[in-house]
Amino acid sequence: MVKEKPNSIRCYDADGFRRRAACVCVREVAAENGRGERQVLLVSSSRSHERWVVPGGGIEPNENPREAAEREVEEEAGVRGQMQRLLGVFENPESRNRTVVYLFLVTEEMDSWDDLKVGRERKWFSVDEARHNLTQHKPRQRRYLDFIETMPITRS
């Protein structure tokens, strides 16, 4: 079931691409070897709940990409945190989407969130597991993970 937002307006850029924003949500957990291990939070797809995707969606008319990305992770994944940095702008010529993607450090997981009401789940994966899941179901999103293992995290 795809969630329809009331009064939702799709926004397009000058090239006719739909404007979207997303966040690669991460946390660091202690590993057995004593070093921190980075994990990635994925959400179940709105179209197929056994598939996992990066939380993201359309940019609304009066939003900038960063605001949209923060809103989307709260709605779809039920998390809050600290925006880290821009990972890049990724284009899908087939679907005519252009997505601005950020690295996002999760500091809070909410007990209830908008998309939980429509059956979407969230789950933490190792970077390799997240890469594997995205390769199978959303290969374009797999590229979002290419640099996150070595990127420094800033805590404020």
Residues 117-149: tens digit of each pLDDT? 898 999 999 999 999 999 998 999 999 999 888
Rounded to two decimals, what is the model's pTM? 0.90
The tens digit of pLDDT for each residue in 7-66 reads 668 899 999 999 999 999 999 998 777 677 899 999 999 888 889 999 999 999 999 999
Tell me which fold the domain 18-145 belongs to: Nucleoside Triphosphate Pyrophosphohydrolase (3.90.79)
Identify which of 42, 38, 40, 67 has the alpha carbon closest to the alpha carbon of residue 52: 42
Q: Give the domain ranges of the chain.
A: 18-145
H or E element: which one contains 19? strand 18-30
Report the pLDDT value the prediction gives residue 1, as an integer from 0 to 100: 35
Report the pLDDT value the prediction gives residue 6, as an integer from 0 to 100: 56
Q: Which of 70, 74, 75, 76 is catalytic?
A: 75
Is 91 a residue of the active site? Answer: no
